[in-house]
A and B are shown apart, each in its own frame.
Chain A
Amino acid sequence: MVAEKVFTQLRRGTLEFCVLALLQGEERYGFELVKALGEVDGLVTTEGTIYPLLARLRREGLVETTWRESESGPPRRYYRSTAEGRRALAAFTADWERFRNSVDTVLGRGRQG
């Protein structure tokens, strides 16, 4: 199915900004983040792929991490957005809104036409 492929690509491209959005002004550990994303319909198909994504965001300096003790079990790695991450998210959000509106407009036109 063509649409499925498109959404795989869309997911891949947008997920990192969803991750950044969840990390604004709030720090979360990996598992928590994965579960939060998993609760949103259709966003995450394979939870495990979030971890490489987080590692990449960290390498790119968009998120930073700290290890914190947990009440149960081993220490957890907490992620939070950096200032650069916030800027990247703001830029993406603006572009995304424009893009979404454009697509909606054209699709709406198709439906009426």
Chain B
Amino acid sequence: MTNVQNEADRLVDAYLDYLAKAADPLPAERRTELVAEVSAHIDEERAAGVSSAAEVRAMLARLGDPDEIVAAATDGLVLVDRYRPRVRGREVVTLLFLLFGGLVLFFGWFIGVYLLWTADRWNLKEKLLGTLVWPFGFAGAITFLEIEASLPTWLEIAIGAVVLLAPLAMLAVLLKTAQPARAAA
């Protein structure tokens, strides 16, 4: 009899363990609640007479595959990714440091680069773009433009425009492409 009891307990424990694991993607509160509800259901069934291993198996089959239960719980949550903000404060700070960090503090740009490369929102190409256009951001661009060169005025203006607009283009690209989990953080 003890063995029968153990077998039934073991089945229930395994089921609830599996359910808890399957429910891992749910917010903690919902996961706890779901497992508690299903666990209470099982207790009610057992109090109402489900006792042998075969009866417990049949009861768990009626309850259904834990994955299916969790799928029902995520019904309203499937769009979770879409609701995760694409650009959070962290990304804004990253981009500000990349562009203006060099102007405010020389090493500010390095902070931006560090944040950029540890971010999960951009892939390798975008990270390279963010780093190379331009090193030290606007500080780099301005320093570059201050280099004396004997060029026709129109060419200087054209180069100046390209050099100053490029970081803005980079900014636009990175804001547009930022997506949660584009790269492993």
Per a CB cutoff under 8 Å, which of B33, B43, B63, B76 touches A48? B63
**A17 contacts partner chain B, Cβ-Cβ < 8 Å:** no
- B66 x A72 contact (CB < 8 A): no
- A47 x B64 contact (CB < 8 A): yes
Segment among A19-27, A30-38, A94-102 that sits at the interface with chain B = A30-38
**B65 contacts partner chain A, Cβ-Cβ < 8 Å:** yes
Contacts of B47 in A (CB 8 A): 72-73
- A30 x B64 contact (CB < 8 A): no
Within 8 A of B (CB), among A52-74: 52-56, 59, 72-74
| Count, chain A residues at interface, CB 8 A | 22
Cβ-Cβ contact count across A and B, 8 Å cutoff: 64
- In the assembled complex, how far is the CB of residue B17 from the closest CB belonging to chain A, in whole angstroms? 15
- A76 x B72 contact (CB < 8 A): no
- B69 x A48 contact (CB < 8 A): yes
Q: A45-B64, A46-B64, A47-B64 are in contact. Are A30 and B75 (CB under 8 A)?
A: no
**B38 contacts partner chain A, Cβ-Cβ < 8 Å:** yes
**A92 contacts partner chain B, Cβ-Cβ < 8 Å:** no
Contacts of A48 in B (CB 8 A): 38, 41, 63-64, 66, 68-69, 72
- B69 x A51 contact (CB < 8 A): yes
- Bound together, the chains give a CA A56 to CA B44 distance in angstroms of 22
Instruction: Write the chain B residue with the least CB distance to A60.
Output: B76
- Bound together, the chains give a CA A46 to CA B76 distance in angstroms of 18
- In the assembled complex, how far is the CB of residue A37 from the closest CB belonging to chain B, in whole angstroms? 12
Per a CB cutoff under 8 Å, which of B37, B41, B76 touches A56? B76
**A14 contacts partner chain B, Cβ-Cβ < 8 Å:** no
**B87 contacts partner chain A, Cβ-Cβ < 8 Å:** no
- Bound together, the chains give a CA A51 to CA B65 distance in angstroms of 13
**A93 contacts partner chain B, Cβ-Cβ < 8 Å:** no
- B75 x A51 contact (CB < 8 A): no
Chain B interface (Cβ < 8 Å from any Cβ of A): 30, 33-34, 37-38, 40-41, 43-45, 47, 62-66, 68-70, 72-73, 75-76
Chain A interface (Cβ < 8 Å from any Cβ of B): 12, 30-31, 34, 38, 45-49, 51-56, 59, 72-74, 76-77
Known: A48-B41, A72-B47, A73-B43. 7 other contacts (CB 8 A): A47-B62, A47-B64, A48-B63, A48-B69, A53-B72, A55-B30, A56-B75
